[in-house]
Amino acid sequence: MQKPNALKTGDSVMIIAPSSPPNIENVMKMKLKIEQAGLNVLIGKGVTEKRGYLAGSDANRVSDLHDAFSDSEVKAVLCATGGYGSGRLLQDIDFELIKNNPKIFWGYSDITALHIALQQKANLVTFHGPMMQECGVDTVPPKTLASFKQLLEPLSLTFTASEVDTYPAFSHSVTAPMTGGNLTVLTSTIGTPYEVDTKGKILFIEDIQEEPYRIDRMINQLRLANKLQECKGIILGNFNDCGPKKRQNSLTIADIVNDLIVPLGLPVLSGFLIGHCSPNYGVPFGVPVTMNGADQSISFEPGIQMKECRPQK
């Protein structure tokens, strides 16, 4: 896996909208914050375009992605918001272009489709992190914004589970690359050339506003597709507003995990503020992460590298 280079003062970054149209005002507020931190900001065409629930045409959105990775001045590609639409771009992406121009790629939610594809088709370490739209709001928690520090210097991140005694304890540790993301988007890749590869990896899942029976259906689909059996462990992020609505007689998320995942003998850790939550901590995908059962923590290897300065000949 290729780690992108760290950002430094004076670098340029590009904000793109591969999915739905963002709140322009909040994106521009985040643009100002980034510029105040010493970086230059470019804005992709799709950020200001609308086509129904999409940020402009598929052609323009994939063009923004290609422009960002082909421009040698751009050092990071930051997603404006999620929603829906990134999966529509997959068959038109030039993965060789991205593989040959590795750089920071940051976003989450619907961006999960791009995370999986860039990891598996371009061997690129990517970042599951808060969107420009949510970071631009005046009430964004400082801890959410602090996640961007990992793009400036190699940081090893450690988080402790807030949920304990929910799933069987394990005393050993497991280390493997992490993949995954939004559960709804993950399951939408099954049966396609871009389906998530979980073999020998730690699988991270999170979601928002999905009733438990829907979470059950999607986890069961991963199980039937052998995606759970192939992985080395499961990390559960935030499941925001995923309580019962249509069906009041319901299982809980914990019931579902105990029914469908725990019998597979996989280590499970849960209760991490990663995903649709506030604060929302950014983490690297594709680097080794260690699940430590003894202290109920997860630890990530840095997702970026410092650029080597080679003397001119």
Q: Which residues are catalytic?
A: 109, 206, 276
Sign of the dihedral through C-alpha 261, 280, 299, 101? positive
Write out the DSSP string of 97-145: HHHHS--EEEE-GGGHHHHHHHHHHH-B-EEE---HHHHTSTT--HHHH
Looking at the DSSP bridge assignments, the partners of residue 269 are: 235
Sign of the dihedral through C-alpha 3, 124, 99, 145? negative
Looking at the DSSP bridge assignments, the partners of residue 297 are: 160, 292
Q: Cα(first)–Cα(last) distance of the chain, in Å?
A: 29
Half-sphere exposure of 304 (CA within 13 A, CB side): 24
Assess contact for 14 and 106: CB atoms under 8 A.
Answer: no
Residue 308: which residues within 8 A CB-CB, separation 6 or more? Answer: none
Residue 171 CB neighbour total at 10 angstroms: 8
Can you tell me the distance from the alpha carbon of 252 to that of 258, in angstroms, rounded to the nearest whole number? 10
Please tell me whether residue 294 adopts helix, strand or coil conformation: coil
Can you tell me the distance from the alpha carbon of 80 to that of 109, in angstroms, rounded to the nearest whole number? 11
